[in-house]
């Protein structure tokens, strides 16, 4: 039986957030603590001010501090606090499947597409992007430094049986890592392949302590680079590297026809703000140590309409 929405939030807030797969933290900025079906008619049919949005999101948006910026800007504009559950993408989508959040922000398009095909998510929008990088210690035992070939780098790591720390948590980063191993023709395993089962920040720390390679999103790596003994050895497309290391983020609402308790009105206000010129500017302006961590992608004079539906989707009568 699924944990009920507000019971889940109390459970996480009670100090056992680490028990959720890939979870590294919980942000709470206040609110009345009542779900959509617990609010009176006078509140649910009028202004959204004073209500509370529940967001399930990836560890990278939390670890980098981006959520503090965008959620503060949203609250300033709408008078609405955001309670964010930080998890790996797979766990965040599972939270959403259970109806325990109103909106989800993740970075694994294949998982997002499955989520939409099963009817749980609607009104998806491209939000922003950065990229993945392959990081490791300076002596680089697999000799991958400076390579422009991510799949070749993974092959070299496997052939030399150099330590590699995998998140192993069904997150967006883990999904991207498995895609690279598949492209490299390698099925990773053995003593050299370490599955942490942790978020990106914890995995970077473990890789640093054990002298392992790992795949990291650029934003989280930048936010922790002064605390770990790892450097970027293979760049992603932000710095001219291969497209296989691209890292796009999407945001989508939970289908209120599946879960009537979700606050759909508030979810759409949040999506609308994040993809508006003001929200996109907040994302673009967010920096650490003078480095931009995320790049806005929602605004375009030539929009990609496939962002709203699963990739490759066609109506049932497309051939008629």
- The predicted-structure confidence for 143-170, as pLDDT tens digits, reads as follows 999 999 999 999 999 999 999 999 999 8
- Other Cβ atoms closer than 10 A to 164: 23
Q: What is the pLDDT of residues 245-292, one digit of tens each?
A: 999 999 999 999 999 999 999 999 999 999 999 999 999 999 998 999
Q: How far is CA 258 from the centre of its chain?
A: 23
Task: Say yes or no to pLDDT of 44 above 80.
Answer: no
Q: What does residue 317 show for φ and ψ, rounded to 5 degrees?
A: -100, 25
Residue with tokens 């694994």: 108
Asked if the model's pLDDT at residue 122 lies above 90, the reply is yes
Q: pTM of the entire structure?
A: 0.82
Per mean pLDDT, which range of 19-33, 85-99, 279-293 is the poorest? 19-33
- Contact 246/236 with Cβ under 8 angstroms? yes
Contact (Cβ atoms closer than 8 angstroms) between residue 53 and residue 83: yes
The strand pairing partners of 249, in sequence order, are: 128
C-alpha distances out from residue 208 to 39, 160, 177, 212, 299, Å? 48, 19, 18, 6, 37
Cα–Cα distance for residue pair 177/2, rounded to 1 Å: 30
pLDDT at 52 over 90: yes
pLDDT at 36: 39
pLDDT beyond 50 at 57: yes
Q: Give the pLDDT score at 40.
A: 38
Contact at 8 Å (CB) between 151 and 244? yes
pLDDT digits (tens, 9 = 90+) for 211-230: 999 999 999 999 999 999 99
Determine the pLDDT at residue 112. 96
Residue 314 — pLDDT band, cuts 50, 70, 90? Answer: confident
Q: Give residue 93's pLDDT band: very low, low, confident or very high (50, 70, 90).
A: very high
């Amino acid at each position: 039986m699924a944990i009920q929405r507000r019971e889940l939030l109390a459970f996480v807030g009670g100090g056992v957030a680490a028990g959720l797969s890939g979870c590294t933290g919980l942000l709470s900025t206040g609110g009345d603590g009542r779900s959509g079906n617990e609010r009176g008619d006078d509140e649910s049919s009028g202004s959204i001010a004073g209500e509370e949005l529940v967001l399930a999101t990836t560890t990278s948006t939390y670890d980098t501090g981006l959520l503090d910026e965008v959620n503060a800007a949203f609250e300033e504009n709408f008078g609405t606090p955001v309670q964010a559950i930080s998890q790996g993408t797979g766990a965040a989508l599972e939270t959403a499947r259970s109806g325990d959040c109103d909106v989800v922000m993740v970075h694994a398009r294949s998982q997002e597409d499955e989520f939409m095909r099963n009817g749980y998510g609607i009104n998806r929008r491209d939000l922003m992007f950065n990229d993945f990088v392959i990081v490791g210690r300076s002596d680089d035992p697999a000799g991958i430094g400076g390579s422009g070939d991510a799949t070749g780098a993974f092959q070299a790591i496997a052939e030399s049986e150099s330590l590699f720390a995998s998140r192993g948590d069904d997150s967006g980063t883990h999904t991207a890592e498995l895609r690279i191993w598949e492209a490299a023709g390698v099925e990773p395993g053995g003593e050299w392949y370490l599955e942490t089962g942790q978020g990106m920040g914890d995995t970077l720390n473990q890789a640093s302590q054990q002298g392992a390679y790992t795949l990291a999103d650029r934003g989280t790596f930048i936010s922790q680079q002064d605390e770990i003994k790892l450097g970027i050895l293979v760049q992603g497309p932000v710095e001219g590297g291969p497209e296989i290391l691209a890292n796009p983020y999407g945001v989508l609402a939970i289908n209120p026809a599946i879960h009537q308790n979700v606050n759909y009105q508030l979810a759409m206000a949040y999506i609308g703000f994040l993809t508006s010129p003001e929200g996109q500017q907040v994302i673009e302006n967010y920096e650490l140590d003078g480095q931009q961590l995320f790049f806005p992608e929602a605004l375009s004079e030539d929009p990609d309409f496939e962002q709203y539906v699963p990739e490759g989707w066609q109506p049932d009568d497309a051939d008629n």
